[in-house]
Amino acid sequence: MVLLAEKSYNRKKDRFPIVPKKEIKFLDVSDKTASVKLIADEWIDYMHLVKLNGTWKIINVLWQYNDSSHHK
């Protein structure tokens, strides 16, 4: 996601604040799965993670803008 944002969405380096807001809430964590909520400057992400070979991987992201009027 970060690489995609740098190569396309944020090519000019002007899309994100210098000190971005980022608040992470662990909604549920077990030994191999987790649900996480990220509250950022303009959006909210809900992520599902899985632990594979000892490493956490994001397998799904559901997001929306904080201001839902941005969605058309």
pLDDT truncated to tens, each residue of the chain (72 aa)?
Answer: 666 666 777 677 776 777 778 899 999 999 999 999 999 888 899 999 999 999 999 999 999 998 888 887
Rounded Cα gap, residues 33 and 35, in angstroms: 7
> Nearest to residue 43, comparing CAs of 20, 60, 63?
63
- Is residue 2 exposed (0-12), middle (13-18) or buried (19+ Cβ within 10 Å)? exposed
- For residues 7 and 27, the answer to whether their CB atoms sit within 8 Å is no
